[in-house]
Amino acid sequence: MNDLSNITLLLIQDERRVLKKLKFPLIMDFIRTYKDEVNIYFLTEYINGMELFDVIREIGNDFKIIFFLNKTGLLTKTEAQFYIGSMILALEYLHRQNIIYRDVKPENIMIDSQVHGYKIVLCSIK
């Protein structure tokens, strides 16, 4: 194995160790890893929803995502406060675990539909 492969393997092992440690409703659940001769696979919970990036992009279009948006095509003040508050709670949990999440961006935030509403989920593996 060359140095790059060793470094890559160490990074993957570190990410796996961190994900196994996290148990919080607003952070994507890690289940386990699998590998074959070429790849390593991370199995995570299924998030039934959309990336925040896609939700934001659709706000600017005429196409309305009824699932996520009100009749005007914008988040209400209450909805925006709920999503921001959820992100803050998830980041506070990570910080209490001595983890710095350096990849906060709309593509890594899922809006998950629930039977009783929506929740925001931090994730980084696609």
| Catalytic residue numbers, as ranges | 103
68 and 111 Cβ atoms separated by less than 8 Å: yes
Residue 114 CA: distances (Å) to CA of 33, 57, 62, 120, 121: 26, 22, 25, 10, 12
Residues 6+ positions from 84 with CB-CB distance below 8 Å: none
**Per DSSP, what are the bridge partners of residue 42?**
33
> 70 in the Ramachandran plot: left (φ > 0), alpha (ψ -120 to 50) or beta?
beta
